[in-house]
Structure 1
Amino acid sequence: MASETAGPTPPGNLTPQQSGMPQVNRISAEDISASLKAGFSDFLARPFLSGFFGLFYAVFGILLVWSLVWLGKIWMIIPAIVGFPLVAPFAAAGLYEMSRRLQKGESFGWSEILVVMANQRKREMGWMAFVTLFIFWVWIYQIRLWLAIILQNASFSDFGGFLQIVFFTPQGWTFLAVGTCVGAFLSAVLFSVTVIAMPMLLDRETNFVSAMLTSLRVVSESPVVMLCWAAIISVTMLLSLVPAFLGLIFTLPILGHTTWHLYQRAVPPAEA
């Protein structure tokens, strides 16, 4: 079962092409809706393979939280859970490849997709992984900084004590407000440079800087629509974490497939 091919936005919506850079289309709410439908179709076409990537990501999240509890890093649990979705675009490389092949009507199995993912280490995707993980590290570090500045000598003997201080004290409210604002900024930056860059790097032979600049151009051309897409991703991912990360088994694959189709609508195919 192949998904519907995402049609291009009318040529009138193309922005002028920059030297050495692909053209980009303006994105509309209809593009988001159509991409979601195509993404859900891709998930239904290969649910077990798609769900595998979601399951892998969910298990990794569970192990991350367990490790923090075991190490006694109670204060890191909430920042890690909230920041965890930041690395999702890199984890979705296999989903992009699945959607690419479904779109072309090509047959494939587990081995073909896993080989493509493994081969990304020889390409520019590794640099994007570095960018993603660096911003995730900055996210964790800034939480630790505000924790020291605002909560100072507060002691967190257990997770319940940490929640008590954060949610039921004036200092905790200040910590949440500042951390949320800084985190929102970091998330916006990461979303802007990766939302189109990740699938573009899998699809084309280009460098990661050009891919990030293309992603930024797409976001700048349709800021309101892309902001809405970022909000949909954020809310969906965070709600998926509530049932012990298990919601990611379904939501991560659908969002990953959808991102591929949105990329196809945002960046016209390269000329042969």
Structure 2
Amino acid sequence: MSDITGHPVGEGAPAIRDMEMSDLTRALRLGWKDFLRKPMMGLFFANVYVMGGWLIYLLLFVLEYEWLAIPLTFGFPLLGPFLAVGMYEVSRRLEAGQDTWARNEIFGVIWRQRLRQLPSMAWVVIVYFLFWSFFAHMLFALFLGPSALTNVTSSYAYLLQPEGITMLIVGGAFGAVFALVLFVLTVVSLPLLLDREVDFVTAMITSVAVVRQNPQVMLVWGAVIAGLTFLAMLPGLLGLYVVLPILGHATWHIYRFATVAAGDGVAR
């Protein structure tokens, strides 16, 4: 790994390091190792995500708003970084040499974050997700018209028409941009907020700075996250039971590789 070349972007923020592509495979290996060491923690947090997804789809079909499944399918993964906070804490402890603790200690750490900056960052993610859902709804109505919003609940033939295909292409392009912006803002900001006493704006600026200094590595990491998450969602979200914990733990190590040399003391 390269030496530190960047400077802290704000008070309390860490210096930024140059990264290498090998850091990505190393982070995934360490994420897999953390998952195997504490599998029940990873499965618990993944279960919250999977059950939440099933509940949303159940409510949509019971209330006959199936058309909302389209934006939610692409938008729901945007909440993943926040739900992985518990796994960041597990990896933080394992890295610091703590192998034994009560499960409630992890929940206690997460609960205490309500008095710090994580809630503000959570609102950024949630508002972003809601804005994407509204934007996708607007695209749907713009390309297919208001009548399709009611008829698509009984037939998805609208999506096979030229207007529907165009809507999917345009919506996919905008969705990719939305996801990229959120990725840039959160790729290291959430683990940073867990690790250090910084405000959420500084955390987001640090995250952007990491991507600017390591654009190729970070773009590949974003593609890895998107690809693995998409494949994990195909079998009824069941693949997320494995993929989400690994990515959650790996994200902690990405943060450490990008800002703090591996093996240094963990700030708290």
Normalised TM-score (structure 1): 0.91
Which of the numbers 226, 229, 235 marks the counterpart of 1:237?
229
Map 1:150-169; keep pairs closer than 5 Å.
150-152=143-145, 153-154=147-148, 156-157=150-151, 159=153, 161-162=155-156, 164-166=157-159, 168-169=160-161
Which of the numbers 79, 87, 109 marks the counterpart of 2:79?
87
- Give, in whole Å, the separation in 2 of the partners of 1:68 and 1:46: 34
Which of the numbers 120, 139, 144 marks the counterpart of 1:146?
139
Residue 193 (structure 1) aligns with: 185
State the Cα distance separating 1:16 from its structure 2 match: 3.7
Mark the runs of 5 or more structure 2 residues left unpaired by the alignment.
Answer: none
- Give, in whole Å, the separation in 1 of the partners of 2:141 and 2:59: 22
Q: Does structure 1 conserve the Cα–Cα contact (< 8 Å) formed by 2:141 and 2:149? A: no
What is the identity, as a one-letter code, of the residue corresponding to 1:205? E
**DSSP-derived class of the 1:24 partner:** coil
Identity rate of aligned residues, in percent? 37
Mark the runs of 5 or more structure 1 residues left unpaired by the alignment.
Answer: 1-8
- What CA deviation, in whole Å up to 9, does each residue of 1:153-200 have, x standing for no partner? 2254465613x221x110001111111111111111100000100000
1:228 aligns with 2:228: no
Alpha carbons of structure 1 residues 271 and 83: separation in structure 2 relative to 1, 3 Å: closer
Residue 217 (structure 1) aligns with: 209
What is the identity, as a one-letter code, of the residue corresponding to 1:161? S
Residue 6 (structure 2) aligns with: 15
What is the identity, as a one-letter code, of the residue corresponding to 1:258? A
Residue 120 (structure 2) aligns with: 127
Q: Does structure 1 conserve the Cα–Cα contact (< 8 Å) formed by 2:2 and 2:18? A: no
Query: Size of the alignment, in residue pairs?
Result: 261
Alpha carbons of structure 1 residues 159 and 122: separation in structure 2 relative to 1, 3 Å: same
Normalised TM-score (structure 2): 0.92
**DSSP-derived class of the 2:197 partner:** coil
Residue 43 (structure 1) aligns with: 35
Q: Does structure 1 conserve the Cα–Cα contact (< 8 Å) formed by 2:65 and 2:153? A: no
Alpha carbons of structure 1 residues 92 and 267: separation in structure 2 relative to 1, 3 Å: same
- Give, in whole Å, the separation in 1 of the partners of 2:267 and 2:123: 30
Alpha carbons of structure 1 residues 237 and 159: separation in structure 2 relative to 1, 3 Å: farther
Q: Does structure 1 conserve the Cα–Cα contact (< 8 Å) formed by 2:67 and 2:152? A: no
- Give, in whole Å, the separation in 2 of the partners of 1:48 and 1:151: 45
Alpha carbons of structure 1 residues 160 and 266: separation in structure 2 relative to 1, 3 Å: farther
Alpha carbons of structure 1 residues 18 and 78: separation in structure 2 relative to 1, 3 Å: closer
Which of the numbers 105, 110, 115 marks the counterpart of 1:112?
105
